[in-house]
Amino acid sequence: MSPLFIANWKMQLSDVASVALAQEARALAHDAVTLVLCPSFNALADVAVAIAGSDIALGAQDCAWEERGALTGEVSPEDLKQLGCTYVLVGHSERRRELGETDALVGKKLRAACAAGLMPVLCVGEDAAERAAGKRGAVIARQCSAGFDAVADLRPSEILVAYEPVWAIGTGVSAAPEDAAAAAVSIAALAASHDIHARVLYGGSVDADSVGAFMARKEIAGVLVGTASQTATGLRDMIVALQAVT
């Protein structure tokens, strides 16, 4: 299976810039890579047009926890699907930290995403204090269990889990590949104990120089990338590096 490269553009790019970058992505050969672009909500429709007919997939950075309702400002997973999304991130640490998203809410979002037929990417990972206190395993287990419990009865054929240590996001300091691989093993085992097949990604300061070391680990199915995916050069270098390791 080709490695997944999920580009998280966060709130960094305007609609115009997102479309331009999507067009750049489209012009790159990436046969050996499954590329998923996650622009902000406002750019989804235009990016969908920019990548139409290519093998690039579209993802959203978040979704509502209900299909429909009086939820001002929220975006239904069903509507994301109608827009052409096939992937959606849930529980990104920036949302957990800045907006107080709890494990329970993230579990509901995961459920809503699965119910809508989107491929969810459940983001988990410890922060610096939790890491220092030796709580990495416990934090990952708690976050994953909340998600897996919320969807177990839906029997999703597969879900994606991104192990993203909070201290590694946007800092230029990524986790050691062996630590990411160990986290991936425990996440996959926990998923299996819920009868769920999980493929695990790593995220947190991945760039063209470091991606090879992560992809050399068979436990890691791909990468979730912020900074190094947000420019044409970064995107191209990442794809070249990924092609080289596959």
Provide the b/e sequence for 79-105 (b: ≥16 CB within 10 Å): bbbeeebebbbbbbbbbbeeeebebeb
Our answer to whether residue 92 is catalytic in this structure is yes
- Rounded CA-CA distance 227/12 in Å is 9
Q: Can you spell out the DSSP letters for 161-209?
A: EEE--GGGTTTS-PPPHHHHHHHHHHHHHHHHHTT--EEEEEESS--TT
Query: Could you tell me how many residues of this chain bind ligand PGA (CB under 6 A)?
Result: 13
Q: Which is the catalytic residue, given 92, 101, 126, 219? A: 92
Our answer to whether residue 158 is catalytic in this structure is no
Q: Which is the catalytic residue, given 78, 101, 126, 164? A: 164
110, 116, 206, 238: which one binds ligand PGA (CB under 6 A) = 206
Q: Is 210 in the site for ligand PGA (CB under 6 A)?
A: no
168 phi-psi bin (left φ>0, alpha ψ -120 to 50, beta other): alpha
CB of 70 to ligand PGA, least distance (A): 30
Q: Is 205 in the site for ligand PGA (CB under 6 A)?
A: yes
Of the candidate spans 53-61, 65-73, 125-133, 219-227, the one that interacts with ligand PGA by CB under 6 A turns out to be 219-227
Q: Do 124 and 91 meet the contact criterion of CB atoms below 8 Å apart?
A: yes
Pairing of strands 222-225, 4-8: parallel
117, 137, 170, 212: which one binds ligand PGA (CB under 6 A) = 170
Of the candidate spans 80-88, 99-107, 209-217, 224-232, the one that interacts with ligand PGA by CB under 6 A turns out to be 224-232
Residue with the shortest CB distance to ligand PGA:
226
Residue whose structure tokens are 């090879």: 212
Q: In this complex, which beta carbon is closest to ligand PGA, that of residue 78 or of residue 174?
A: 174
Active site residues per annotation: 92, 164
In the complex, which residues of this chain contact ligand PGA (CB under 6 A)? 8, 164, 169-170, 203-206, 224-228
